Amino acid sequence: MTAQGAVIEEVRSRILEEWSRNPMRRPRIAKVTVNIGVGQSGERLSKAAKVLEELTGQKPSFRKAKRTIRAFGVRKGENIGVMVTLRREKALEFLKKALDAVGFRLKSSSIDVHGNVSFGIEEHILIPGTRYDPQVGIFGMDVCITIERPGYRIARRRRARKGHIPRRHRVTKEETMVLLSEMFGVKWV
């Protein structure tokens, strides 16, 4: 084993031991957001919505342009994309298929400072169980995985006073890498 591999294994074992001692420290997948940006409204956008509904089993919501860009022919307020937010079992089920499409390999640079991961799928037909339909075409998509610890709800609650999440309770990049490796067998590049 190389020196770098030994360090990685040491960090991994330290994180797993910490999670076993305190279950509130173990992060979880809060949601998976799938986005297809078409850049125009019309028939192509409705086909993208149909593809997203078939893949996720959930009705997508349309996203509007924030500003007018004449060079691309986009007007402010025009629908230009579709997205779906998946939670619980649906999120895990879709995530297995999406990670299979990229070969269970992700870049470590795709993790942000809060431990969330984003990756892209170039063609939706790479997802297992999907077949090519020439009537629909091929769409690429972005998949964003939101990871948080138990107790994050206090930052979002409405009824009582919102709380502050301290830095020590935020998910780190290393913890995200260990979690996805344990759950799905992801290899980090």
Select the highest-mean-pLDDT range: 20-24, 83-87, 178-182: 83-87
> How high is the pLDDT of residue 144?
92
Is 166 within the bounds of a domain?
yes
- Residue 175 belongs to some domain of the structure: yes
Q: Would you say residue 136 lies in a domain? A: yes
* CA-CA-CA-CA torsion sign (32, 37, 38, 40): positive
- Top-confidence residue, 63 or 73: 63
39 torsion bin: left (phi>0), alpha (psi -120 to 50), beta (else): left
Per-residue DSSP letter, 171: P
Sheet of strand 117-121, all strands in order from the earlier edge strand to the far edge: 61-64, 79-86, 28-37, 141-148, 117-121
Residue 2: pLDDT band (50, 70, 90) is low
In 22-113, alpha helices (H): 43-56, 88-101
Q: Which residue has the tokens 């998910």?
A: 171
Are the C-beta atoms of 116 and 146 separated by less than 8 Å?
yes
pLDDT computed for residue 1 by the predictor: 54
Q: Is residue 8 part of a domain?
A: no
- Number of H-type helices and E-type strands within the chain: 4, 7
The mean pLDDT of the chain is 83
CA distance 140 to 102: 12
Q: What pLDDT, on the 0 to 100 scale, is given for residue 145?
A: 92
Please give the average per-residue pLDDT across 63-75, as a whole number: 74
- Measured from the Cβ of residue 65, the count of other Cβ atoms closer than 10 Å reads 18
Residue 78, domain member (yes or no): yes
pLDDT of 4 higher than 60: no
Structure tokens at 81: 């994309």
Evaluate whether residue 51 is within a structural domain. Answer: yes
Provide the number of structural domains found in the chain.
1
Q: What global pTM score does this model have?
A: 0.82
Residue 39 pLDDT exceeds 80: no
Confidence at residue 42, expressed as pLDDT on a 0 to 100 scale: 77
Domain region containing 142: 27-188
Question: What span, in angstroms and rounded, lies between the C-alpha atoms of 87 and 91?
Answer: 5
In a domain, 16, yes or no: no
Distance of CA 83 to the CA centre of its chain: 12
Is 104 or 131 the better-scoring residue by pLDDT?
Answer: 104
Question: What's the pLDDT score for residue 74?
Answer: 67
Q: Which residue has the tokens 């984003």?
A: 118
For residues 141 and 133, the model is more confident at 141
Kindly tell me if the per-residue pLDDT of 92 is higher than 80.
yes
CATH number, domain at 165? 3.30.1440.10
Note whether residue 46 is domain-resident. yes
